[in-house]
Amino acid sequence: MSETYKTTRAEVQTYFDQIASTTWEQLTSDAPVSRIRQTVREGRDTMRRLLLDALPADLTGARVFDAGCGTGQAANELAARGAEVLAVDISPSLLHVARRRTAPALASRIDFRAGDMLDPDFGRFDHVIAMDSLIHYRPEDSARALSALRERTRGKLVFTVAPKTPLLTLMHWSGKVLPRSNRSPAIVPASFRRLSGELAAHGWSLHRLGRVQRGFYISDAMELRP
């Protein structure tokens, strides 16, 4: 992958593993949070349901890749549908939370691993879900990453992108102008047209599944098809 992908990956790993692991553990729990974080929690819950609904209801025997699994919410739901889940994240801290929260009845069907979601050693999959795993990367890097995953996916590949709206564009450039050491890596808005063009160059077709907007959370669900 490109140097910009590697640089962003390192920034994301540092943020989630060293700076914000406690924040994300709380955000993905039932613990009380601020009003702003509550909107993010609700938005993420809605988006996760949207992506999961795009996959078959019965996943018995299917090998499903949860790319950027975080604290394991989607991985647990996939396993509950019968899938054999490979759940990968670059943050060992979040994976520790995910393992602790996994129900004993599902633990044998989820393989949590720390690493880069693009590692070819992870093999092939029946389906892939990548929720908010690429929103910090440039469109050209996201396209290369998605293409690499799609080549190893037999069935569906569903994922999210940050849409290019005025609000997200302003937030992106504000982060560049006024960086803070405790701020998460900038979310990079990607227009459908730009990303679709990048992916078409790799031989893939991009399809919209829907948009979720709840307070400070806004994200588009997509499916990548041949």
CATH of the domain at 179: 3.40.50.150
Residues 152-203 pLDDT 10s: 999 999 999 999 765 555 554 444 433 444 566 888 888 899 999 999 999 9
* Closest residue by Cα to residue 52 from 89, 94, 81, 86: 81
Please give the Cα distance from 169 to 164 (Å, whole number): 6
Region 93-110 average pLDDT: 97
Residues 15-56 pLDDT 10s: 998 888 999 999 999 999 999 899 999 999 999 999 999 999
The pLDDT, as a whole number, for residue 173 is: 43
Q: In the chain, how many domains are there?
A: 1
Structural domain harbouring 10: 3-225
Structure tokens, 72: 């394991």
Residue 52's contacts (CB-CB under 8 Å, 6 or more residues apart) are 74, 77, 78, 129
Amino acid (one-letter) located at 169: T
pTM score > 0.95 for this model? Answer: no
Q: At what angle do helices 139-150 and 192-200 cross, to 10 degrees?
A: 50
Calculate ∠ Cα 7-51-38, nearest 5°. Answer: 75
